[in-house]
Structure 1
């Protein structure tokens, strides 16, 4: 970004949603900056949800819903990315198993994925009677975050490490200057961010074990409902091989609502290893679950929201929180200034599989905001191009 280019939009949050939104805006020619406490290189931060994801495209949205649209858009995005960046996204076989009599209805996406079918008996995991198979996409979260960061830097979008305690302060930040629009992609931070303070936001703790398992290429999931004991433990089951080098596979897991603890739990990790080995003995070459090559035991907090994700445009005035107005907003030209915020948070465990779809919707809301100000994204882009031309 040249010195002559004025930042038009601040994106708060550098998780998969924040980075994807910033990339979408940059591609449309909108000058933006990403501001976050955790940046893409902070892969070991327990407070940063995105590095700890599975991650795979496996929609659990309702057919015809807004979320299903987001998932579909992102599915097609991954189809393209798997061709250009196979170390980031890769098409893989998927299998789903169950024992429940009567089975489960076919998912709405059966005609979207590749080769959806019922599994033959010799294709099932040990101990399971029924199953479905198809091909879809898995991602490597560290590689995907790195890819997004690299793309943003190619557009000269700054990624700034800064702790922001209130929404107001983001509109007039030091070294960036005043902006009229902020994207709030702070995830769990939206619960405590002054000016948002959304009490509907809550964490879903997810326990996983990252292992090394050469030759494992199939993603596996068990659909059977959990026993009362399993429900208490938040037990979920999946095996997701990651693209790229290192033969890495992620095993899971748990879904524990309102559990804020980010420390791994040894007994949970052992249970995950035992369950995974029972379904796929190839994880250790049939040598037992204790022989699985463990890289790390992990716990991450998925940023969920009661009632679903919040993706909407809000108009507001600066300085309306008496006694809590940050110093950079107290000036006469700032207090009372009309601004906008596009919220994009609360998607829970579906961040990767909705990211492109949400980014496109957010970009539409950004365009609406600037149209209300008698301009548009295209007008901003043209204006920036003119600035660059004059500077040259």
Structure 2
């Protein structure tokens, strides 16, 4: 049986995971078209490089998304096992979550390994809390792991700035290779068997899709060097909707295997500013230091000395910000059929997989599996 040609647009964590999942199925030849790749310098156009990231699901009443996240955790937990090929991308940690209110039970995190409710006398200034085991992800390393694994399985990557999906549907991926003559679609034949859209926030302006339900949720972070931090910690304002506009609904501390630690906690809806704001950095440092005084170097806390924000500034590696690709109505994972090109009546299935907001890493394998399922059904019906 001849393999079918699939083009995936986008090489963020969702695009890479989806392309890899499809390629490893064995029935497809997959080509990724992307303007930015994981090995490129960090850019505001490429959100995945700026992510924390850890796997901590938050129940927002979306059972479909919660399943995507659960399925993703199971895979990441397996990838992070000692001695595994991807162990270097992850760090298994004990996670602590603190809230300013009593939470309804059962907690959506109860399925996590080693889950426990914290007692009232162990939550400090918080009202309630939970603890469990999870994984943190060194995002630049993990993205390049996905890329190399995709290539090793026979995938192809072409750097391309796709302005309209018809460019791919009519000319195929070869249209973006200088000096190569595209194989144009004909009346009954398309150049590709299916197209998969994983373009995140860029889907708002991608010709042929132009999903105006997409919007950014800006997140600013501070990367520090603190290899003595071996646990994760978050503080939530539980009474506030985490998906809504809010300058600081929560603070988080995410250690990485490398010894770096990500500090953050901003969700600024419809904020497109591409650079870190100094006042926001100060707020992040102040909040995370209050949440975890152990962040500063051990010598700054000797002899009962109280650590300060300036102690944290001395170990800053980088400040950054990313634009989380959120979508009104939630993540879009579905399929539709479009014309194969201007001179063709053939129809091509398009599988959409975008709009993950801040949950791209923690739902990536779940939505990739759903995209593969939809792709298989669409091609079977074609």
**2:142, 2:274 → 1: CA distance?**
22
Q: Which moved more, 1:112-121 or 1:347-356?
A: 112-121
Which of 177-186 and 18-27 deviates more? 177-186
Is 1:117 aligned with 2:116? yes
Which stretch has the larger CA shift, 363-372 or 173-182? Answer: 173-182
Shift of 1:180: 2.7
What's the offset of the Cα at 1:122? 6.6
* Structure 2 equivalent of residue 240 of structure 1: 254
Structure 1 unaligned runs (5+)?
320-329, 374-392
- Is 1:34 matched up with 2:54? no
Q: CA deviation at 1:75?
A: 1.0
Shift of 1:242: 1.4
CA distance in 2, matches of 1:63, 1:57: 18
1:204–1:301 contact (8 Å) kept in structure 2: yes
Q: What does the per-residue CA deviation read over 1:152-189, in whole Å, with 9 as the maximum and x for residues that have no partner?
A: 11012112110000011112232575203100000111
Counterpart position of 1:256: 268
Alignment of 1:169-208 (within 5 A): 169-171=167-169, 172-173=171-172, 174=175, 175=177, 177=183, 178-208=191-221
Note the aligned Cα RMSD (angstroms). 2.2
Aligned pairs for 1:3-152 (under 5 A) are 8-29=5-26, 30-62=28-60, 65-83=63-81, 84=84, 85-100=86-101, 102-110=102-110, 112-120=111-119, 123-124=122-123, 126-152=124-150
Unmatched segments (≥5 aa) in structure 2: 184-190, 302-306
The structure-2 alpha-carbon separation of the partners of 1:351 and 1:369, relative to structure 1 and needing over 3 Å to count, comes to same
Query: Cα distance 1:104–1:296, how it changes in 2: closer, same or farther (>3 A)?
Result: farther
Residues 155-170 of structure 1: matches in 2 within 5 Å?
Answer: 155-170=153-168
- What is the CA–CA distance in structure 2 between the aligned matches of 1:371 and 1:95, rounded to whole Å? 46
Give the conservation status (yes or no) of the 8 Å contact 1:12–1:34: yes
Answer yes or no: is the 8 Å Cα contact 2:100–2:239 preserved in 1. no
Do 2:240 and 2:249's aligned partners in 1 also have CA atoms closer than 8 Å?
no
- Matched with 1:383 is none
Q: Is the 8 A contact 1:92 1:137 kept in 2?
A: yes
Greater displacement, 215-224 / 171-180 = 171-180
CA distance in 2, matches of 1:64, 1:259: 25
CA contact (8 A) 1:70 1:356 kept: yes
Tell me the TM-score normalised to structure 1 length: 0.84
The Cα offsets for residues 58-95 of structure 1, whole Å up to 9 and x where unpaired, read as: 11244671111111111110111001122212221010
**Structure 2 length-normalised TM:** 0.86
Distance 1:39 1:239, change over 3 A: same
Kindly provide the CA deviation profile for residues 14-34 of structure 1, in whole angstroms up to 9, marking residues without a partner as x: 000110011111111111100
Equivalent of residue 305 in structure 1, options 313, 318, 327: 327
Between the aligned partners of 1:232 and 1:146, the Cα distance in structure 2 is 32
CA distance in 2, matches of 1:99, 1:248: 28
Deviates more, 1:166-175 or 1:142-151: 166-175
What's 2:235 paired with? Answer: 222
1:203 aligned counterpart, secondary structure: strand
Aligned with 1:350 (options 330, 342, 359)? 359
Segment drifting more, 347-356 vs 126-135: 126-135
Counterpart Cα distance in 2 of 1:106 and 1:300: 33
2:379 match: 370
Equivalent pair of 2:109/2:115 in contact (CA under 8 Å) = no
1:123 positional shift: 4.5
CA offsets 1:84-107 (integer angstroms, 9 cap, x no match): 12221222101011343x444342
User: How far off its partner does 1:121 sit?
Assistant: 5.9
SS in structure 1 at match of 2:253: strand
